[in-house]
Amino acid sequence: MPLPWGSRRIRGIGHFAAISHVLIKHGLGELSDRLFARRRPGVKSSGLPDAQRIRRVFEELGPSFIKLGQLLSTRGDILPPEYIEELTKLQDRVPPVPFDEIRQTIEHELQQPLESLFAHFEPRAMAAASVAQVHSARLKTGEQVAVKVIRPGIDKRIRKDIDLMYFFASRIEKRSELGRVIGAANLVKEFERTIFRELDMLVEAGNIERFAQSFADIDEIYIPGVHWTHTSRSVLTMEHIDGIKMDHVAEIREAGIDPEEVALIGLRSFSRQLMQAGIFHADPHPGNTIVMRDGRVSLVDFGIVGYLDEETMLQIAHVFLGFSEHDYELVMEAFQGAGLIDPQTMDLNQLRADLKEISEPFYGRSLKTIAVKDVYDQTMRLVRKYHISLPRNLLLLLKTFIQTEALGKILGSEASLLEVTRPYAKQLLERGYEAQKIFKNMGRELRATGGLLRSVPRLTHELLRRLATGDHRLELRHDGLDQAARKFEAGLNRLTIGLVLAASIIAASLILNSSQNVLLLAIHRFGLETVSVTQLLGITGYIIATILGLWLIFSIIRSGKL
């Protein structure tokens, strides 16, 4: 396949050397040789490199490769469990950018001096990650805010790294069967699409607004507000949330808040996102989930979200309801409706049996008694076994599902995610969702039909004009009717013979039974003295009828359609 880097000039030979040095440093010299087309005599490929070493290489290579590793950590459908476990540990905590550079970025983006924008701006970063860092500030109106700023120049660095990733993906696909199977170049393309969305603060601000609308009438969930006058492509200013990180269980208890109730709020929020909002927070780790002092739960950092269309929401509801009610036929129907399984190429009975085998042991158990890693590993084993291709949003959803369960487990919840989700799934299916969808589609089709009808007079006029001027000829053709015509003709012939046969029998009977004799002939044969012409005609009619009848019966028997 043509790769996007094919038309670009890969600059920075020193970067290649640095990557090769990092690989060798972590004991991956063999991988370096394969990537850079070097050959060592007597050295054979040992297959997949060690997962821990790969994780350390990503960490040392910097922000772009850390983000790539985090993306790969969601791809349990193509990578072994030990790789998923290691890549999940990737942390993108890095030293913050100096305050002077942050000031320049904000003033350039918002076209005002920092002092005109904020009454106070804390120079020290609250948090710093590979692509952005967050500072505390106070607006002129007195509101406390959190300001997320994209690191200066990070987009150029990421673009340069992506060019290298495409280069490496090409080498990996040429020299590794695994690289071809997993589609290394496609993984880089997916990374390129997602990372630049994450770098756009206007996209994240839009995600926050959509969540705020979806949870506007839900008291237990709070979504921070966006200050659009202080937001741009590289700067996001939102309401500061004062609270406790969800994994600080002791501190939550000290604040007089029940951790198990917090877990239930999180599970209900997850259910609403899937069954009502059609958008879900795809990175609900403890740092992004804040327990407020009044017991509400706030979600922050909306850089990674997943979107669900109406049909997918409906299929997800069927899946959750099927699992909660032990109805694996419903689960299979939902999988098939979503296009995840193909009855022509898969053993559906065996898949159903495998689903039941891995699911039944978890029924009725609380979150704290379930090993989340086991659930994920067994699910991915089935995905790989049956070669199921999962879209990115469903992979994100599965990762979010695991993280949500993990948070519940940290909080010591006795709840079952399936039981919490079940009423939301039923509500989605019972409120006439399918009928709404039908009417919505009907309206769309009626609008399309109306547009076509409006164009019919014009198209008809144009067609007739072209026919009249000889620009086009109207030619009617039919195919595949010859055999049907022959069968119809044969049937018609049989019907005609049948009618002739019936007429001959009737005529012969009438003649033989007639008392009138026309033209008596003397024959002196067969014991007869005379015979009339009428008797000869009757006998001839019977003979013809007998011959035709025998032929007709024989032809029908021979056709096999008696």
Residue 344, helix vs strand vs coil: coil
**196, two tokens:** 């630049």
- State how far the Cα of 180 lies from the Cα of 428, in Å rounded to an integer: 41
C-beta separation of 36 from 10 below 8 A: no
Active site residue 77: no
The helix or strand, by DSSP H or E, that contains position 385, with its residue range, turns out to be: helix 372-385
Measured distance CA(562)–CA(554) in Å, rounded? 10
Handedness of CA 23, 28, 33, 36 (dihedral sign): negative
| Dist CA 206 CA 228 (whole Å) | 10
Query: Which of the 8 DSSP states describes residue 274?
Result: I
Pick from 139, 149, 132, 131: nearest CA to 64: 131
What stretches of 407-561 adopt beta strand conformation (E)?
520-525, 528-532
From its phi and psi, is residue 181 left (phi > 0), alpha (psi between -120 and 50) or beta?
alpha
Query: Which H/E stretch holds residue 442?
Result: helix 433-469
| Catalytic, out of 92, 283, 471, 479 | 283
- The CA-CA-CA angle for residues 283, 189, 376, to 5°, reads 40
* Alpha carbon distances (Å) from 194 to 70, 78, 277, 399: 12, 19, 21, 16
> Which residue's structure tokens are 């399918």?
434
Catalytic positions: 283
